[in-house]
Amino acid sequence: MLLPVSRQIEKYSGVGAGVVLLVCFSHAPQYGTNALGLFFILFSLLFLARFRDIHIVIGELAILLMAWLYIPLLISFFVQLHGLDHGRYWVLMVLIMTMVCDSAAYFVGTALGKHRLYPAISPKKSIEGAVGGFVGSVMSAVLICPWLIADTSLSVACVVGVVVGILGQLGDLFESMIKRNADTKDSGTIFPGHGGMLDRLDSLLFAFPGVYLYLVWF
């Protein structure tokens, strides 16, 4: 979305590097920083040889670096969360909470939304919808999590619901900011009418790391 047409070589080779980074971050995290450092050096040399416009070349390289951190790194937390005790159920819970949050935000926002949440980035989202999504996430966590994962306390379920209810919606806004910057409505054409693949993952990209880090740290 963000790299210009003249950067096709960097774009597609950057995607290939991102796939390698995804595998490293997910299954061999000890090599993740090594691979990231190596790719950064290689692509820095590539941009050095093909700088084109000296005033924007660093910004274009930064876009590529952000893409590696945004998608491969954050998606890897899905695999890491799945590897924890009861990991597959935690993954299922994050999916449930995110879907409930999105649905509640949509229906509450449609019915009651009057105050815009962040019009510069997402004109249709409302504060009322965001609150509805947050409440839906917490309620789904409290109702389902202790039943699905037997040794989970209500307090842990509540905190996880709060994490997903906040980070999931922030992830959605962040992806909307990227699209606004790129002056595009959809991130891709794989899911017509849904905004693209990235629109289906934007909330999860923030929610999975949040839940994983909470469970590991606390």
Q: Which two tokens stand for residue 122?
A: 């997402």
Q: What is the pLDDT of residues 140-195, one digit of tens each?
A: 999 999 999 988 899 999 999 999 999 999 999 999 999 998 888 878 777 766 66
Q: State how far the Cα of 29 lies from the Cα of 96, in Å rounded to an integer.
A: 27
For residue 118, list its beta bridge partners. Answer: 122
Q: Check: CB of residue 184 under 8 Å from CB of residue 176.
A: no
Q: What is the pLDDT of residues 26-35, one digit of tens each?
A: 999 889 999 9
Q: What is the pLDDT of residues 39-49, one digit of tens each?
A: 999 999 999 99
Q: What is the pLDDT of residues 85-142, one digit of tens each?
A: 999 999 999 999 999 999 999 999 999 988 999 988 988 899 999 999 999 999 999 9
Q: State how far the Cα of 7 lies from the Cα of 86, in Å rounded to an integer.
A: 43
pLDDT at 197 over 90: no
- Residue spans of the domains in the chain: they are 1-76, 83-218
